[in-house]
Amino acid sequence: MKISRFVLGLALVAGCSPAEKVSSSQNIGCELGDVVNGRTLNIATTVAPITSIVANIAGGTSTVIKGIVPEGTNSHTFEPKPSDAVSLESADIIFINGLVLEEPTKDLAMANLKESANVCELGTEILPVSEYIYDFSFPKEGGKPNPHLWTNPLMAKQYAQVVRDVLVRRDPSNAVIYESNFSAFAIKIDALDQAITVATATIPEDQRKLLTYHDAYAYFANNYGYTVIGAIQPSSFDEPTPKEIGGLILQVKSQKVKAIFGSEVFPSTVLQQIGAETGVRYVDVLRDDDLIGEPGDQEHSWLGLMRFNFVIIVEALGGDASALKSLDVRDVVKDEAKYPQ
């Protein structure tokens, strides 16, 4: 039986005194929260790419990191389990993407947040409102901007900077480790950025077109010179209408699209149909927030995920992905975060 999120929030808060729990927007802010001294810092995160970024900065300390959103799950609609409240209520910091991506998880967090804790919305922190992208799956009238900043490596680097700053402030005893980890991680992100630039240059400019199922590459496309010509999944997460499908088929033909990109998390018979009717290659393995392999594997990282996706994109569009394939995508420190599967 499905439990109402509102009722669940009330039930979980009811057993806690007002001094122990708060449910106020006053705790939303990366600059908030008390200094933690003499004990382990507890962190909760949402989607796996954010968990991986945090783990790269916090690794080598006793910090406990627990992801909430299972890999391979639609993070836009994921409803956290009642047991997730335990992780959220013990957290000193909750790192989320923001930009209205994980509202059910944010709601549960706010219903169970301890007074000394804070919620840090990374995307909302780094991106000015004037730079929000509204598009196919995220129309402006819906009030939700495209939240997929982490597929743009330079924005992910900003995420890491914010994480470093928050951890240094909240846990100053480990400041040197956080600073060192960030410096090493930033070098790897810069190498990824350079490799994407080199690989993209091997694709003819008129072929740098992205037709995807899930609309996860808008900020990436803006930064590296690609054009997102469409996304199949509408804002309602329903299938597109026959009229919309017909329009996309005509667009694929008229713009001579080289490949159509599906998502491993969102299988789409619609994209298969468009590929079959246009004779265009359909690639259905892109991953938005499902890391490669299993926790503990060498490529199970944000870096590994980005390399995987961009190799697929570059090669499908006729480019040379050698620069990407040669990257070292291992984490800068051992990743001991917990990733729900």
> How far, in Å, CA of 129 to CA of 110, rounded?
23
CB 164 within 8 A of CB 55: no
Confidence category of residue 191, pLDDT binned at 50, 70, 90: very high
More confident residue, 239 or 115: 115
Position 272 scores a pLDDT of 85
Position 16 scores a pLDDT of 43
pLDDT of 327 higher than 80: yes
DSSP secondary structure code for residue 227 in this structure: E
Position 7 scores a pLDDT of 31
Considering the domain 17-191, what is its CATH architecture?
3-Layer(aba) Sandwich (3.40)
Three-class secondary structure of residue 119 per DSSP: strand
Which segments of the chain does DSSP mark as H helices, in order? 5-14, 48-58, 84-90, 103-111, 122-126, 153-170, 175-200, 218-224, 242-254, 269-278, 302-316, 322-325
Report the pLDDT averaged over residues 180-208.
Answer: 98
pLDDT of 215 higher than 60: yes
Position 5 scores a pLDDT of 32
Position 291 scores a pLDDT of 96
Query: Among 307, 311, 310, which residue's Cα sits nearest to residue 292?
Result: 307
Q: How far is CA 292 from CA 263, 297, 322, 336, in A?
A: 14, 8, 19, 16
More confident residue, 99 or 25: 99
Position 6 scores a pLDDT of 30
Q: Which fold has domain 201-325?
A: Rossmann fold (3.40.50)
Strands 64-67 and 42-45, sheet pairing = parallel
More confident residue, 100 or 244: 100
Dihedral angle, C-alpha 256, 272, 197, 295, nearest 10 °: 180
Position 237 scores a pLDDT of 65
Report the pLDDT averaged over residues 228-237.
Answer: 76
Mean pLDDT over the full length of the chain = 89
Domain ranges of the chain: 17-191, 201-325
pLDDT tens string 4-40: 333 333 333 333 433 344 445 679 999 999 999 999 9
Confidence category of residue 59, pLDDT binned at 50, 70, 90: very high
Report the pLDDT averaged over residues 44-67.
Answer: 97
> How far, in Å, CA of 319 to CA of 83, rounded?
46
DSSP 149-182: GGGSHHHHHHHHHHHHHHHHHH-GGGHHHHHHHH
Report the pLDDT averaged over residues 204-221.
Answer: 93
The percent of residues above 70 in pLDDT, for the chain, comes to: 91
Position 260 scores a pLDDT of 92
Position 265 scores a pLDDT of 75
pLDDT of 281 higher than 50: yes
> How far, in Å, CA of 19 to CA of 159, rounded?
31
Confidence category of residue 234, pLDDT binned at 50, 70, 90: low
Confidence category of residue 286, pLDDT binned at 50, 70, 90: very high
Position 141 scores a pLDDT of 92
Domains 17-191 and 201-325 share a fold: yes
